[in-house]
Amino acid sequence: MRKYLLIFRLAARDQLIYLPSFLVKNLFFVVLVFVFWSLWRVVFAGRGVIAGLTLVQTLWYLTFTETIELSKGRILGQIQEEVKDGTLTVTLSKPYSYPLFHLARAMGESVVKILPMLAEGLVLGLLMVGPLPGYVRSLPFGIILIVAGLLLTNLWTLLIGLVAFWTEEVSPFYWIMQKFVFIVGGMFIPIDLFPGWLAGVARWLPFAFSAYWPAYTMVSGSREAFLTGLAGAAGYAVILGAGVAALFALGRRRVHAQGG
């Protein structure tokens, strides 16, 4: 594990160097939160609470889900390019696990991105709707689930990236998965606002543990939500990890080195 911790630290250090560039690229986060604020203040006009959430909680919820989305690693493009340009044969010869290398690298990038994104969301939330009750108390538990959500997101991305062993181009598969997170994962609309039957299903899908449960824990301060989110993320991490291992074992058999 020391190898992967080193990879994690090196990726985190590299991300720190490029952090100003990352923040500039994500200035549209400000625009996105402003759009959310403009939309939801109309929805909440004359209504203090909808499905157990206030306007303040809903906007803060959306800053947390976007923090997860914007903090994910860059696994997909890296694997896709390695397959296309042939450098995959070189990286496979290295003395480490190919999937764990990419996962450790992505998590190193992700954890560095979390705090500045949370800080940006904090400023935007305070300016647009005011303070979130219980924010400081919920923050440590929320960060744990946000990291867990990023782990699931990076595992999903790694799983899809390995499909490049067969198709080379995997972006369409990623777009489909991403839309599931956006919709039934509760990234753009809290699952609490779904029809009852849909909310009952969506809460237990893996996509919800990438977005909904971390954000809902932050805005609700619920200990039960934290434990549910943590248990669900751990369970799905094991399932996705097994899927990654199996897919990589199959895909590696398809790799052929040519040339001299």
pLDDT, position 256: 55
CB count, 10 Å around CB of 139? 16
219 lies in some domain: yes
198 lies in some domain: yes
User: Of the candidates 150, 166, 171, which has an alpha carbon nearest to the alpha carbon of residue 69?
Assistant: 150
pLDDT, position 57: 93
257 lies in some domain: no
220 lies in some domain: yes
259 lies in some domain: no
Burial class of residue 116 in the structure, from the number of CB atoms within 10 Å of its CB (0-12 exposed, 13-18 middle, 19+ buried) = middle
pLDDT, position 260: 38
pLDDT, position 143: 92
User: pLDDT below 70 — which residues of the chain?
Assistant: 254-260
222 lies in some domain: yes
pLDDT, position 63: 92
44 lies in some domain: yes
**Looking at the 3D structure of the chain, how many domains does it have?**
1
- Give the domain range for residue 113: 2-252
19 lies in some domain: yes
pLDDT, position 255: 64
pLDDT, position 216: 94
